[in-house]
Structure formats: structure tokens, C-alpha cells
Amino acid sequence: MTSTTASATAFRPQEGARVWLTRFLALDAAVTGANGLAYVAASGPLGELLGVGGGLLFGLGVFLVLFAATVAYLATRPTPPVTAVKAVIDANAGWTVLSVLALTLWLDDPTTAGTVWILLQAVTVGGFAALQFAALRRYRG
């Protein structure tokens, strides 16, 4: 009877949701950090390839590296603060919307590669937001 009680208390749906939430945060941090570092290190050549100004990419790269560091920190917390996780989800949703708006309204002449990259990035970041939101809902019960 003791083993049944022990295994029943060992399985907690909220704990599984926390694990998935931290995994999704960690994946977000890794992808965002790599993207940001690429923008910082190669803003000129990437700017030419994408048809976007190198200065803009450099600034975005710095922002992304700092954002990724923050998200990575949250991913390492035993209990990620709900308010901070919501802020990450909101930022990811905002990035998704702004990417599409930038492509349609603000950017003058991105290359085909730039258009594809911006859309791919919007879908990826939107996916992070959706996964994090779903995990957070389960985590909070």
C-alpha cells in the first residue's frame, strides 16, 4: 500500500507542466540567443542578404541576446514566476505581430530571402508563445 501512495504523490500533473514550461522557455532562449548573436556578429552581411539595414539587425541582435538571457534565467528557476512567464509570452506574441507589420508596412524592400526569413521567424516565435501559453495554463491548473 505504501508504494501505491508513494507513486500517487510522485505523479503530479502540475510538475509535468512545469517541466514542459521550462523546456519551452529554454528552447526559446537557445533559438533567440543564437539568432541574436548571428545578428550582432554578422549584421552587415545578413543585412545585405535579407534586404534589411545592418544597423537595424545589430540593434535587434543586442535586444535578442538580452531577451534570451532573461528567458534562460526563467528556464532555470525551480518555479518560474507566472508574471514573468506571461511577459515572455506577450513579448513573443508582440514580436510575431510586429514582424508581419514590419514586412507589410515598414520595411522598404526586403529580398525574397528576407521576406521568407521574417515570416519564418514570426511563425517560430508565435509557436513559442503558443507552447508557453499552453504549458503555463496547465502549470497554473
pLDDT per residue rounded down to tens, the chain (141 residues): 455 544 444 445 577 889 999 999 999 999 999 999 999 999 999 999 999 999 999 999 999 999 999 999 999 999 999 999 999 999 999 999 999 999 989 888 899 999 999 999 999 999 999 999 999 999 886
How much is the pLDDT for 48?
Answer: 96
Query: What is the pTM for the complete model shown?
Result: 0.86
How much is the pLDDT for 15?
Answer: 75
Q: Are 32 and 67 spatial neighbours (Cβ–Cβ below 8 Å)?
A: yes
How much is the pLDDT for 12?
Answer: 53
Give the CA radius of gyration of the chain: 18
Return all residues near 22 (Cβ < 8 A) that are at least 6 apart. Answer: 74, 75, 76, 77, 80
How much is the pLDDT for 7?
Answer: 46
Residue 118 to residue 39: CA distance in whole angstroms: 13
Residue 18 to residue 127: CA distance in whole angstroms: 18
